[in-house]
Amino acid sequence: MTITVGFIGLGAMGMPMASNLVRKGFDVTAYDVETAKIERVAGLGAHASTSAAGAVVGKDVVFTMLPATPQVEQVVLGGDGILSQMTRGSTLVDMSTIDPAGTDKVAAACAEAGVYFTDCPVGRLVLHAERGESLFMVGGDDATFSRIEPLLNAMGTAIHRCGPVGMGTRMKVVNNFMLLVTAQIVAESLVLGAKLGLDIETIKTVTAATTATNGQLQIAFANKVLKGDIEPGFTIDLAFKDLNLAMAAAASQRIGLPVGSAAHAVVGAARATPYASKDFSALLDYACGLAGVEPPRLL
């Protein structure tokens, strides 16, 4: 039986994931607020929708990949939200990175409407999404997971079951907190290295062979800012949003994140500059500007 899919949100990650579903032969109807993005995926064979609601009517599975909690709540639960248009027994998969409380709210509304729900945020980079190598952090029961597993396999190569509904979102908050604080440490380390006269290739090679190694330097920075490419990707604005989620979660649990608080402040300051809309790896260029050093680049 053919699985019919609605896909809402064709941003930096949503576009390649929706495109991979189409390429793998799934029947996809797509919507985004930017018409050009709908036309692009339609050119691959997706059906174009002129509204979010139109993209979900009669669909077996609906994916949402949206910027933040307010957009998810508006698109799903708003007065003309998609939940009111979805068929009982269908499945909503939210892949957005949002506040866990927002996930819980959407999950409760889905349960009341007779729609299955799973939170399934995405890991790895845009380059991985383009190659169909995304990673998924899934919160949900076995029956719901079995419905969406073929679709996830069409978009990625790694699926991690994190627990019941809501645990995928919570795992993503922790994951992004760790990677973004690490990114700031990498930026500062490279500034220090530049000041000390070290070559970037030397830093990258040596740290790759010690426990200092990390994916931000070896993969994220190496494929973006260290090549002179700071176009997003994942913007500094979105990085700040994700750090906000972590800080709010920590506050709700009455714990402090002192190193995270420092990184949060730096990323917040970077948002007041033209780097706000650039790739988060541009934290390196921002740090270099503050230190008065030339940003290092790989040859």
pLDDT, tens digit (0-9, with 9 covering 90-100), for 28-42: 999 999 999 999 999
Domain encompassing residue 206: 170-291
Residues 266 and 149 in one domain: no
Domain check: are 197 and 252 in the same one? Answer: yes
Say if 39 falls within a structural domain: yes
Same domain, 192 and 154: no
CATH of the domain at 263: 1.10.1040.10
**Final residue before a domain boundary, out of 136, 165, 194:** 165
Q: Domain check: are 131 and 175 in the same one?
A: no
pTM (predicted TM-score): 0.95
Give the chain's mean pLDDT: 97
- Please give the average per-residue pLDDT across 8-18, as a whole number: 97
What's the CA gap between 212 and 276, in Å, rounded? 28
H-run or E-run covering 106: helix 100-113
> Which residue is catalytic, options 37, 172, 204, 224?
172
Q: How many domains does the chain have?
A: 2
Stretch 270-283: mean pLDDT:
98
DSSP 141-165: -HHHHHHHHHHHHHHEEEEEEEEST
Decide which of 106, 130, 165 is a domain's last residue. Answer: 165
In a domain, 297, yes or no: no
pLDDT band at 1 (very low <50, low <70, confident <90, very high): low
Q: Quick one: average pLDDT of 35-54? A: 97
Share of the chain above pLDDT 70, in %: 100
Is 197 a member of any domain?
yes
For residue 298, is it within any domain?
A: no
Q: Catalytic site residue 172?
A: yes
Question: What confidence tier does 2 reach under pLDDT thresholds 50, 70, 90?
Answer: confident
23 and 159 share a domain?
yes
* CATH number of the domain within which 47 lies: 3.40.50.720
In a domain, 296, yes or no: no
Which long-range CB contacts under 8 A does 138-144 form with residues at least 24 apart?
A: 138/162, 138/168, 139/103, 139/163, 139/164, 139/165, 139/166, 139/167, 139/168, 139/169, 139/170, 139/171, 140/116, 140/164, 140/165, 140/168, 141/165, 143/116, 144/91, 144/116, 144/117, 144/118
Residue 110 is predicted with a pLDDT of 98
Query: Do 56 and 72 belong together in one domain?
Result: yes
Backbone dihedral angles phi then psi of residue 48, each to the nearest 5 degrees: -90, 140
Task: Evaluate whether residue 299 is within a structural domain.
Answer: no
Query: What tens digit of pLDDT does each residue of 77-90 get?
Result: 998 899 999 999 99
Does one domain contain both 97 and 176?
no
Instruction: Tell me, yes or no, whether 9 and 154 share the same domain.
Output: yes
